[in-house]
Amino acid sequence: MPTFKSLSRRSLIKGAAGSALVGGIGFPAISRAQSDAIRIGHLTPLTGFLGPLGEYAVMGVRLAAEEINAAGGVLGRRIDLVMEDSVNPQTASAKAERLIDRDKVAMIIGEISSASGLAIGQVANRLKTVFINTGCNSDALRGASCNPYMFHIEAANSMYVEGVGSYLLRENLVRGKKWYTLTADYAFGHDLARVARGFLQKHGGQLAGDELVPTDATDFSPYLLKIRQARPDVVASNLAGNQITNFIKQYAEYGLPFPVAGFGFDTVVAWGAGKGNFSGIWPLVWHHLVDTPSSKAYVAAFTRKYGKLPDNQSWGDYHSLKIVAQSMNETKSADPQKLAEHLRKGAKFDVGKAREAYFRAYDNQMIMEMYAVRAKEASKMRDQWDIYDALGSVPGPSEDMEVLAPPKDGTCKIG
């Protein structure tokens, strides 16, 4: 295990400020890109409750750009990243339009907030520029709010719920059980809570209570006192960002005996809770224990560069840029229209998993394997980063990967 070092949020924000152009190696102040470089926009929150995830997103896409340029670039041209802090939906929309109109980016990668992702997707659709969403989970973005130019390497809420749900059913934690949920009070949380309720109803679970938690909440004691009084069979998280960190830590401090589960999750937020505080069963789109050659290579490269393990958010931004580079080389073009057509025609991509992934033409959702993990007991942890054991992939090796995909309910009209 390497020696871990910190990379401060301030240094990331400072580096990304002012639409800094980078070649995948660092964050110089405003610099002039090569005239023949291919500019790629990167938008993600570096401040607020999703900031810790945004830091890893930046690290992932920087590493991808560095590797692509070291291998000769794309079509013999250098990749230059134009990076911005998306902040909130209004700012994200304005910055997306500026990236396309002023900075002339070929496409945009990033975002974590579903509300901001919707805003960026609307700009991308209007200006006919590809946007690959790397962190927005709302099923609505794959449904009524879908569009031909918005693609999703991040999994939808329904995929997370079904993925972890298969393990919760095996543990007999659903049928006949009373669940108490905490939900992030914004678009992502509302959508996740809706999908989670549907899962419980389908499999005979009961919702004993649900609390909407403001995104800036740090004190969970009022909610934990209600949970203690309700005495549910399971406590579940529909939270996001550092909400999860605070919940995990304070839940452990209260010493509540009820099993914990999560319907959405990011590794970095559990790392932030401190050794021994993490518990329960949770879903992930990817984790650093995935046992494939390309996944191991990514973990090793990320650790060498940053002195820390990669999380699932960094995985999404890293592989999105790799997908873009591969697609541009295969189509021999950086044209957004050709990129969108190529992504929707079933092109296959190695995203560090046992099976290659592809974007489904119906809603532009990436079809891929997902994972579930179980928190380790503190006594079994080798260090503060060794927080969970892998439970396995979903779907199983012999199952069609589309069984995990969002249902085709007819609300997405891309076709």
End-to-end CA distance of the chain: 48
By residue count, the chain amounts to: 415
What's the pLDDT at 34?
Answer: 45
The predicted-structure confidence for 86-137, as pLDDT tens digits, reads as follows 999 999 999 999 999 999 999 999 999 999 999 999 999 999 999 999 999 9
Do domains 9-155+290-367 and 158-284+370-404 share one topology? The answer is: yes
Instruction: Give the span between the Cα atoms of 346 and 390, in whole angstroms.
Output: 29
Q: How many helices (H) and strands (E) does the chain have?
A: 12, 15
Strand partners, 281: 261, 374
Instruction: Give the span between the Cα atoms of 370 and 86, in whole angstroms.
Output: 27
The fold of the 158-284+370-404 domain, in CATH, is Rossmann fold (3.40.50)
Residue corresponding to tokens 């490269």: 301
What is the residue extent of each domain of the chain? 9-155+290-367, 158-284+370-404
The fold of the 9-155+290-367 domain, in CATH, is Rossmann fold (3.40.50)
| Host H or E run for residue 206 | strand 206-213
What burial class does residue 76 get, using C-beta atoms within 10 Å of its C-beta: 0-12 exposed, 13-18 middle, 19+ buried? exposed
Instruction: Give the span between the Cα atoms of 206 and 262, in whole angstroms.
Output: 16
Digit-by-digit pLDDT tens for the chain (415 residues) are 443 344 444 444 444 444 444 443 333 333 334 459 999 999 999 999 999 999 999 999 999 999 999 999 999 999 999 999 999 999 999 999 999 999 999 999 999 999 999 999 999 999 999 999 999 999 999 999 999 999 999 999 999 999 999 999 999 999 999 999 999 999 999 999 999 999 999 999 999 999 999 999 999 999 999 999 999 999 999 999 999 999 999 999 999 999 999 999 999 999 999 888 999 999 999 999 999 999 999 999 999 999 999 999 999 999 999 999 999 999 999 999 999 999 999 999 999 999 999 999 999 999 999 999 999 998 999 988 899 999 999 998 889 999 999 999 999 999 6
- Number of Cβ within 10 Å of residue 153's Cβ equals 25
Q: What is the 3-state secondary structure (H, E, C) of 260-318?
A: EEECCCCHHHHHCCCCCCCCCEEEECCCCCCCCHHHHHHHHHHHHHHCCCCCHHHHHHH
Residue corresponding to tokens 């820390």: 308
368: left (phi over 0), alpha (psi -120 to 50) or beta: beta
| Non-local CB neighbours of 64 within 8 Å, separated by 6+ positions | 24, 317, 318, 319, 320, 321, 322, 325
What's the pLDDT at 415?
Answer: 67
DSSP secondary structure letter of residue 396: -
Q: Are 65 and 81 in contact (CB under 8 A)?
A: yes
DSSP labels for 136-175?
A: ---GGGGTTT--TTEEESSPPHHHHHHHHHHHHHHTT-ST
What's the pLDDT at 369?
Answer: 97
